[in-house]
């Protein structure tokens, strides 16, 4: 059934969108179920991006719908300041049980961007709480994406996300990114070369001195910049350096969390335990906005001093641990557990990898990368018109029944974890046809 199109598209200033192009030829979604969206004109689209990296269990899950509806009727809102509700504590306990010790405390937020801001503030406050108030510098990485708030774009390293917004936070430095097209093009899984890029952190520490550095934040796998898979040994080296210099290590797992790599978290996949883990997206299957920061007991305990009636951390949000979001998350975790989705990656990872790499040699393809159930196809840019080739591929795929993500001149793929081999075949065949027809 066709759904009426709004007669006024102008009022909504769309985020991360070419607004003028969209409003001339809108792509409007009316409903979703399983692996598919349905457009307002009744066309089915295979969701090759899990919405925005978040709908890991597929669309329209009845269990989550019912949990949300029941929660709205039972307790629609509860303040998180000096009050609480049972599901917030139950959910926190479930989340901490999914991660290795000592990551055993949770601070709830409403998005990945808020989770990053929270982690950065906790890092700074922690250093002061333990008597090391000079440790105020934050270290990010080129091509890193940590949301769109001021802290996140300051430690982030995507130029277009930063260049319009002034000087940003002071006292921030960046390591180089890990992308090495010359040595690692068409790598399957983790690249062999590039562990030495972690030693850039030693140079930055030497420049600023460890006594002035609070934390390092990285995505274990950089997603939004185009699926940059960490070289073998790279994350291990970062952990060693941070431990050596008494610097907190924060993993931004907004994308990698909840099964994307074939393990519950990148912490599990790579076997490296940071001091904080930033999450969002898959925590509620994208149904209700929610995020969380998991931190070590050492960090939490540093604040639990002074009079018991005193607030320990002056930070939080009106909607922290919102009852409806907690209900959605609990139902989501039930689905993940019941269907084994957080560890389903290895079952399909090789098939997904082989399918993606079958595109090698097609027009304009200069690299293919993959890990778990996430992949990228990097295209040669059109001279003088960066991003146009990939955007043209995005539009063409949409017309052929596939919704995928592009970033720069990179096609990024992260289908829901319920994807089948037949759907992977369809996805790759559509992309092949698209690439063959690109100018």
Confidence of residue 7 (pLDDT cuts 50, 70, 90): confident
Could you give the number of structural domains in the chain?
A: 2
pLDDT in the model for residue 108: 98
Is the domain of 107 the same as that of 79?
Answer: yes
* CATH number of the domain enclosing 428: 3.90.1150.10
- Per residue in 154-213, pLDDT tens? 999 999 999 999 999 999 999 999 999 999 999 999 999 999 999 999 999 999 999 999
The answer to whether residue 248 scores a pLDDT higher than 70 is yes
The answer to whether residue 259 sits within a structural domain is yes
- Per residue in 50-59, pLDDT tens? 999 999 999 9
The answer to whether residue 4 scores a pLDDT higher than 80 is no
- Per residue in 171-184, pLDDT tens? 999 999 999 999 99
Question: Distance (Å, rounded) from C-alpha 354 to C-alpha 122?
Answer: 42
* CATH number of the domain enclosing 204: 3.40.640.10
Is the domain of 51 the same as that of 122?
Answer: no
The answer to whether residue 379 sits within a structural domain is yes
Q: Determine the structural domain holding residue 25 and report its residue range.
A: 19-60+342-437
Is the domain of 325 the same as that of 388?
Answer: no
The answer to whether residue 1 scores a pLDDT higher than 60 is no
In what order do the strands lie in the sheet containing 365-371?
Answer: 365-371, 374-379, 410-413, 405-407
- Per residue in 301-324, pLDDT tens? 999 999 999 999 999 999 999 999
Is the domain of 354 the same as that of 318?
Answer: no
* 296 touches 276 (CB < 8 A): yes
| Domain boundary pick from 321, 339, 357 | 339
The answer to whether residue 260 scores a pLDDT higher than 60 is yes
DSSP reduced 3-state for 346: helix
Compute CA distances 320 → 83, 152, 189, 290, whole Å.
Answer: 11, 19, 36, 8
pLDDT in the model for residue 179: 97
Is the domain of 326 the same as that of 391?
Answer: no
Question: Distance (Å, rounded) from C-alpha 161 to C-alpha 153?
Answer: 7
- Per residue in 341-354, pLDDT tens? 999 988 999 999 99
Mean pLDDT on 92-114: 97
DSSP reduced 3-state for 78: coil
Percent of the chain with pLDDT over 90: 97
The answer to whether residue 219 scores a pLDDT higher than 80 is yes
Is the domain of 325 the same as that of 348?
Answer: no
- Could you give the dihedral angle defined by the CA atoms of residues 368, 369, 370 and 374, in that order, rounded to the nearest 10 degrees? -90
Average pLDDT of the chain is: 97
- Per residue in 34-81, pLDDT tens? 999 999 999 999 999 999 999 999 999 999 999 999 999 999 999 999
| Domain boundary pick from 339, 358, 383 | 339
Residue of 328, 325, 335 whose CA lies nearest to 109: 325
How would you classify the pairing of strands 213-218 and 365-371? unpaired
């Amino acid at each position: 059934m066709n759904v009426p199109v709004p007669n006024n598209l102008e009022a909504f200033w769309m985020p991360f969108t070419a607004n003028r192009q969209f409003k001339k030829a809108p792509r409007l979604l009316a409903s979703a179920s399983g692996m598919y969206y349905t457009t307002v004109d009744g066309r089915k689209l295979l969701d090759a991006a899990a919405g925005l990296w978040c709908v890991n269990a597929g669309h329209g899950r009845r269990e989550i719908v019912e949990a949300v509806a029941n929660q709205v009727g039972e307790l629609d809102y509860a303040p998180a300041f000096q009050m609480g509700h049972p599901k917030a504590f139950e959910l926190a306990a479930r989340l901490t049980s999914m991660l290795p010790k000592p990551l055993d405390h949770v601070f709830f937020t409403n998005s990945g961007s808020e989770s990053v801001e929270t982690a950065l503030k906790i890092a700074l406050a922690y250093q002061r709480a333990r008597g090391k108030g000079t440790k105020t510098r934050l270290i990010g990485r080129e091509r890193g994406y940590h949301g769109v708030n001021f802290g996140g774009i300051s430690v982030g390293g995507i130029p277009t996300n930063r260049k319009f917004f002034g000087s940003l936070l002071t006292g921030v430095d960046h390591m180089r990114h890990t992308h090495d097209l010359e040595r690692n093009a068409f790598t399957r899984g983790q690249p062999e070369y590039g562990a030495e890029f972690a030693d850039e952190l030693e140079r930055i520490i030497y420049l600023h001195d460890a006594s002035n550095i609070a934390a390092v934040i990285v995505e274990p796998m950089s997603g939004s910049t185009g699926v940059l898979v960490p070289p073998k040994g790279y994350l291990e080296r970062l952990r060693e350096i941070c431990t050596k210099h008494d610097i907190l290590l924060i993993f931004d797992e907004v994308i990698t969390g909840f099964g994307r790599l074939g393990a519950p978290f990148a912490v599990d996949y790579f076997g490296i335990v940071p001091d904080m883990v930033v999450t969002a997206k898959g925590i509620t299957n994208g149904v209700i906005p929610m995020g969380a920061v998991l931190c070590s007991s050492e960090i939490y305990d540093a604040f639990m001093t002074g009079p018991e009636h005193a607030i320990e951390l002056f930070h939080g949000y009106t909607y922290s641990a919102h009852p409806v979001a907690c209900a959605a998350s609990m139902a989501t975790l039930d689905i993940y557990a019941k269907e084994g989705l957080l560890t389903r990656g290895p079952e399909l990872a090789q098939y997904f990898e082989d399918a993606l790499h079958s595109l090698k040699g097609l027009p304009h393809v200069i690299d293919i990368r993959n890990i778990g159930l996430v992949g990228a196809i990097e295209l040669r840019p059109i001279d003088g018109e960066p991003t146009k080739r990939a955007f043209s591929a995005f539009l063409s795929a949409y017309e052929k029944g596939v919704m995928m993500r592009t970033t720069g001149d990179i096609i990024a793929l992260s289908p829901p974890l319920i994807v089948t081999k037949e759907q992977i075949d369809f996805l790759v065949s559509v992309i092949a046809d698209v690439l063959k027809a690109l100018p």
